[in-house]
A and B are shown apart, each in its own frame.
Chain A
Amino acid sequence: MSVVEAPTATVSLDPPSVPPVGPERHPVRTAVMYVLITVIALGVLVPFVWMVSSSLKNNNEVFTVPTQWIPRDFQWNNYVDIWSRIPMTTYLRNSLFLSLVITFLQVLTGSFAAYGFSKVRWRGRDALFVAYIATIAVPWQAYMVPQYVMLQKAGLVNTFWSLILLQAFGAFGVFLLRQYYLTIPDELCEAARIDGLSEYGIYRRIILPLSKPALASLALLTFVATWNDYMGPFIYLTSNELWTVQLGLKSFVGLFDGDYAMIMTGSVISVVPILVIFLIGQKYFIQGIATSGLKG
């Protein structure tokens, strides 16, 4: 199994406490720096500006020469009309349901298994862990066909069960949490054992409270990944009433491809929940990514 020396997990989006690239003493240089990063940030954010601005226009104003970056008059009614154009409420509810259930199960079973892989010593443990990790290295595309066949034979295609079963027991969560548990000193568990706490008691009373940041990271990463997932629902959910926001939005684009403004309105609505969650939990997000160095 390949092991890579990864960066330490102390990164955050906050400015570092020590100036890493020398003190910015020159006001001119600082000003140049600001201009540079503002230009970069604008470049990165332009698609979002376009999305929001188009979502507030009439269809015939979306593509104009020259591009109108601020709508002439704001079509706020787009945000009212869309709910009756497509079953947006159903889509949002389905996405929320799947994301919550999958996140809950992943965090629960993942933290449980991570404890077994890091704090209890038993024969065969490390070999089994390697099997877990090895499957992270196998591209999902390489085994999606047998997965599909199995779930089809079980009659679970076109139910939420298929997605829940597929995504709630990932090896990724076990791996992320095990990494964190290894940093918790074993002396703590040892002391609790001497005091007569069972392994389940140690898990619940000591490890879980201590690993809140890691649990938050995993929960956020899983929630966002499930909310944004397209391929899973695309393969497994065929009935309209089971569709998630992503599928609903994509089908809307296919059906009404000239309805530019409304398409952008739908896109904004699909992104807003993620924006809110991301801004609240940013710290844990970044920590999770820097710890694992792994894409889910």
Chain B
Amino acid sequence: MGKLLEVVDLEKRFEMHILNEKQIEALRQVSFEVDEGEIVGLTGKTGSGKSTLMKCLYRTYRANSGRILYHAEDARAIDLASASEHEVLRLRKTEITYCSQFLQVIPRVPAIDVVASALVARGARLDEARLLTRECFERLSLPKELWDAYPATFSGGEQQRVNIARAIISRPRFLLVDEPTASLDLKTKDGVIDMLIDLKNSSTSIVLITHDEHTLTRMADRSLHLENGRLKEVVYA
């Protein structure tokens, strides 16, 4: 299997100009690699920089220095830390998906269309997209009466599953997922894990943040431990 991602000496600090130039060091000299079809877990205490790292990979945060080389489908190596915004937007549309810890959706869109639109944006027809979405909801055992309701009114676990469905429905090449199982019971949790492993088996690479031992041992091929913004050790599962 080839390399998908090579992170080299990534550094991130937050400079707050409106708080007397206060600086917060978030990531220091972070280097690691992700192979194609590999699941890499990120662990560490709250505030250790896991989400910051993930957001840097997705370019929601701008890294201060270092490289994030991503080997795209067309075999080009693109540095996500310095690529043009249009390039990043194109990759987000076609290959890289980020699944945040909490569902963030445009208001007044029914759950089914929240998920289907992820496929439509990639060129699918709306009716086909809705069909696939229904199957996905079925597998995630999301109650049927919620499918055409607005997710803003859902419980935490229900929102979580809509969020997962939206992230995986398009079968991205690279998935960044933050706490996918945090508010789920054990059975539902295993359902989500099974779907993510399915995705990996069709050669999707996943970077996973979780505090949950069960999720980590079932999913991760390898895990990276962060402490105060530094990578401490590489643990093979």
The answer to whether A binds B is no
